[in-house]
Amino acid sequence: MRDLAKGRPTIPTLPSGQQYYHFLESVLCLHPGIPPGSKIPAGDYKVSIMGYADLLERLKAEGLHPGWTRDDWLALARALDLYPLDGQD
């Protein structure tokens, strides 16, 4: 992420000395949701466990994230040679 940001002036810069992992949250998402009656721990400081609807709300909310646009994330995916499967959005 740092290397990509260096080459793209539109990507927000980090405060001096900060690493991108300080701005990212880890989530285990169960789709379409957590099955009723499941006994799943609430998560810990490393990962949150949630259903898809909750993940969408988390992604839209203000919080710890690097402030990248969709185009920035797509550029990172391309830089990592990540591509959608044929016929998939």
Statement: residue 50 has pLDDT above 70: yes
pTM summary value = 0.53
Same domain for 71 and 57?
Answer: no
Q: Which two tokens stand for residue 31?
A: 């789709």
Same domain for 47 and 72?
Answer: no
Same domain for 44 and 69?
Answer: no
- Identity of the amino acid at 31: H
Name the more confident of 7 and 17. Answer: 7
| 89 CB burial (10 A radius; 0-12, 13-18, 19+) | exposed
Q: For residue 52, what pLDDT is reported?
A: 93
**Structural domain of 68:** 1-14+64-81
Name the more confident of 84 and 64. Answer: 84
- Please name the residues in contact with 83: beta carbons below 8 A apart, sequence gap of 6 or more: 77
Within a domain: 88: no
Q: For residue 25, what pLDDT is reported?
A: 72
Q: Which two tokens stand for residue 76?
A: 């990172």
